[in-house]
Structure 1
Amino acid sequence: MENQFLPNVAVSKVKGGKQYPNIYGEVYFEDVPEGVMVYVYISGLPDYKPGNPQIGPHGFHIHEYEDCTEGEESSPFLAAGEHWNPTNQPHGNHPGDFPVLFSNNGVAYMSFFTNKFTVDQIISKSIIIHENPDDYQSQPAGNAGKRIACGIIKPMF
C-alpha cells in the first residue's frame, strides 16, 4: 500500500569507473506539481581541460538499462545502453537529456526542473556522466565522449 504522505522520490548513487575512481555522488528525483525536480551533488570530477578531446563540462544523461557493469576500460559502462529516449525525439530534446555538469574543484551541484517524465518512469534506469561536454546536436548521443561514472535509479521509499 502506498503512503500518500510520502513524496515520490528516487535516488541514484553515482560512482566512477576505474579511470575516475574518486567520482561519487547522488542524484535525487522528486515528483512535484507539473513535473520533476532533479537535485545533483557529484564530487571527484576531473577538472576542465581545454583541447581535443576537451574534458568537462560533463555530459549527463539518463540511460536505458539498470546495469552499471563497467566492462572495458576503453569504453566503460556500455551495459547501461543508449540514452533513454521513450518518445524517440532527436538528441538535445529527449527526456534523457540533462544539462551538463560543471566541475568546480571537482565538485558539481545542480538542480533543475523537467516535465519530460515522472519519477515512476525512470526507476531502474541508469545515470551516466560523460568525460566531455554534450553538444546537444550530434545524433544520437551528443558526442559527449567516454562514460566515466554510473548509478542506478532506485525508489527511496
Structure 2
Amino acid sequence: MSAARRLALILPVLALAACGPKTESLGKVGGAPPSLILATRLLTPDGNSLGEAELLQMAGGVQLIATVKGLPAGQYGMHLHAVGRCVGPDFASAGPHFNPMTRQHGRDNPMGAHMGDLPNLEVSDKGVGEVNIMLTGLRLVDGDAPLLDADGAAVVLHAKPDDYRTDPAGNAGSRIACGEVKRQ
C-alpha cells in the first residue's frame, strides 16, 4: 500500500480520535503514530492478489486496514489466524484463529470471541471491499498475548460471511485468500 493511501486511511481515524467521543469500532486510537506497521498481500490459492492488508500497532490496539478487489458483491468472513503460513490450495497451514484466551468463536457467542475474530468484509457491486477497524487490546509484538510469535500470523479471507457465533469459524466456508504477517 502506498504511503499516500496509508495516510488517507489513517487520517480519518486520527481525526475522529481528536474530536471527542469515539465510536466503539474505532476503540481508543489516540494521536500517537503507529509503533509498527506490517503489510501483506492477500493471495488466492493460485497466487493471484485479491488485495492487501496492513496492521498498525497503535497505543490502544492494532488498526487493521484491508482492501480487496475483484470479488462478487457480498459479505466475506475475515479472521486473523495463528500461523503465518499460507500454503494453498486450502490455506490450512494458517492454522486456527488467533485465540490465546481459548474462547469460542464469535462476538455473538456468550463464550466468545477469539482475538482473531473480525467483522465481515463487505464487497460492493463494483467488486471492492474495504475494512478499517481498531482491534482494541490486541498487540502485534508486546503485551500479554501478542499476535506475532516465531511463526507469525495470517490474515485469511473466507468464501462466506461469518455468522459471529458458530465455533470454531463462524460457518464462514473455505479459505479463499491468505496473507502472511511476519516481522521483518
Q: Which runs of 5+ in 1 are unaligned?
A: 49-56
Q: TM-score, normalised by structure 1?
A: 0.79
From the two aligned structures, give the one with the greater helix fraction: 2
CA contact (8 A) 1:15 1:25 kept: yes
Amino acid in the other structure paired with 1:137: R
Deviates more, 1:99-108 or 1:113-122: 113-122
CA contact (8 A) 1:61 1:97 kept: yes
The percent identity for this pair of structures is 32
Q: TM-score, normalised by structure 2?
A: 0.69
Q: 1:100 aligns with which of 100, 103, 120?
A: 120
CA–CA separation in structure 2 for the residues paired with 1:43 and 1:22: 11
CA contact (8 A) 2:45 2:87 kept: no
SS at match of 2:93: helix
SS at match of 2:122: coil
CA–CA separation in structure 1 for the residues paired with 2:77 and 2:174: 10
Corresponding residue pairs, total: 138
Tell me which of the two structures has the higher relative contact order, counting C-alpha pairs closer than 8 angstroms and 6 or more residues apart. 1
Moved over 4 A (4+): none
Q: Is 1:83 equivalent to 2:97 in the alignment?
A: yes
Q: Is 1:109 equivalent to 2:127 in the alignment?
A: no
Deviation at 1:17, TM superposition (A): 2.1
Q: Is 1:25 equivalent to 2:51 in the alignment?
A: yes
Q: Which runs of 5+ in 2 are unaligned?
A: 1-32, 107-112
